[in-house]
């Protein structure tokens, strides 16, 4: 088995989504400062990161969209770990017909748009980014998808304030993973997908280390 990393690196000051502040990575305790706490020759460092939850490659739970939706602390591992992956090419417009014949029940459906090639540039956040429609989201719910991910800046269109895809998927309890990368290294089927966030109470969204195992 091969492991394929599908996450972007989180770096100090990076931009994930236009308008959101970048993370600030610093030291809470340096090796030098720790000398006074431990025996001679024993030193430690403790890092610190201040960031919004929507940073890097992250997972949305229903609480991201609905006040009464469950948060990260209630996210079942069955929803985000060791799922059969179905990769759908989504360079152009995806329609429900594109899902016909695919075994999506219980699967992580990963939309491969190629938009991750623009990561770190102004182009990445452009409103012309690939996305799904609410109609496709409804088809994914009906097909029994377990999780839906995309390698674009948003799974919804961002030209208006409406978010039908988030609304449909999160209402059905289907977590959404955005800002994936390296989906071009995965086969259409046969890989297994994992994107597990920390067990956080009161948080709806958080970065994940998304990866796939490929036979």
Residue pLDDT, tens place only, 168-184: 999 999 999 999 999 99
Residue 20 belongs to some domain of the structure: no
Report the mean per-residue pLDDT for the chain: 97
pTM of the model: 0.97
Overall number of domains in the chain = 1
- Residue 92 pLDDT > 90, yes or no? no
Residue 90 belongs to some domain of the structure: yes
State the pLDDT at residue 93. Answer: 82
Q: What is the largest CA-CA distance in the chain?
A: 67
Contact status, residue 174 vs residue 65, Cβ threshold 8 Å: no
C-beta neighbour count of 81 within 10 angstroms: 15
Residue 17 belongs to some domain of the structure: no
- Residue 146 pLDDT > 90, yes or no? yes
Domain, as residue range, for 93:
2-9+53-214
pLDDT range class, residue 135, cuts 50, 70, 90: very high
State the pLDDT at residue 31. Answer: 98
Contact status, residue 86 vs residue 107, Cβ threshold 8 Å: yes
- Residue 155 pLDDT > 90, yes or no? yes
Residue pLDDT, tens place only, 4-32: 999 999 999 999 999 999 999 999 999 99
Residue 21 belongs to some domain of the structure: no
173 phi and psi angles, rounded to 5 deg: 80, 15
Here the tokens at position 31 are 């090796």
Residue pLDDT, tens place only, 190-204: 999 999 999 999 999
Residue pLDDT, tens place only, 31-85: 999 999 999 999 999 999 999 999 999 999 999 999 999 999 999 999 999 999 9
* CA–CA separation, 136 and 205 (whole Å): 23
Residue 38 belongs to some domain of the structure: no
Here the tokens at position 141 are 């719910």
Give the domain CATH number at 167: 3.50.30.50
Residue 127 belongs to some domain of the structure: yes
Residue 35 belongs to some domain of the structure: no
Residue 151 belongs to some domain of the structure: yes
3-state secondary structure the chain: CEEEECCCCCCCCCCCCCCCCCCEEEEEECHHHHCCCCCCCCCCCEEEEECCCCCCCEEECHHHCCCCCCCHHHCCHHHCCCEEEEEEECCCCCCHHHHCCCCCCCCEEEEECCHHHHCCCHHHHCCCCCCCCHHHHHHHHHHCCCEEEECCCCCCCCCCCCCHHHHHHHHCCCCEEECCCCHHHCCCCCCEEECCCCCCCCCCEEECCCEEEEC
């Amino acid at each position: 088995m091969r492991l394929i990393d599908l996450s972007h690196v989180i770096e100090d000051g990076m931009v994930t989504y236009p308008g959101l502040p970048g993370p600030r990575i610093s030291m809470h305790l340096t090796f030098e400062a720790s000398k006074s706490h431990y025996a001679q020759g024993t030193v430690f460092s403790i890092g610190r990161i201040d960031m919004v939850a929507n940073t890097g490659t992250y997972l949305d739970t229903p609480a991201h969209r609905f006040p009464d939706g469950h948060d990260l602390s209630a996210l079942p591992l069955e929803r985000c770990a060791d799922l059969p992956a179905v990769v759908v090419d989504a360079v152009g417009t995806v329609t429900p017909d594109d899902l016909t014949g695919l075994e999506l029940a219980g699967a992580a459906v990963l939309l491969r748009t190629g938009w991750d090639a623009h990561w770190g540039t102004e182009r990445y956040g452009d409103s012309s980014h690939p996305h799904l429609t609410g109609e496709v989201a409804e088809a994914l719910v009906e097909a029994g998808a377990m999780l839906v991910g995309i390698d674009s800046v948003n799974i919804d269109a961002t030209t208006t304030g409406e978010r039908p895809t988030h609304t449909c998927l999160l209402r059905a309890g289907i977590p959404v993973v955005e800002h994936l990368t390296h989906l071009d290294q995965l086969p259409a089927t046969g890989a297994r997908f994992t994107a597990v966030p920390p067990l956080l109470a009161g948080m709806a969204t958080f970065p994940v280390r998304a990866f796939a195992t490929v036979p």
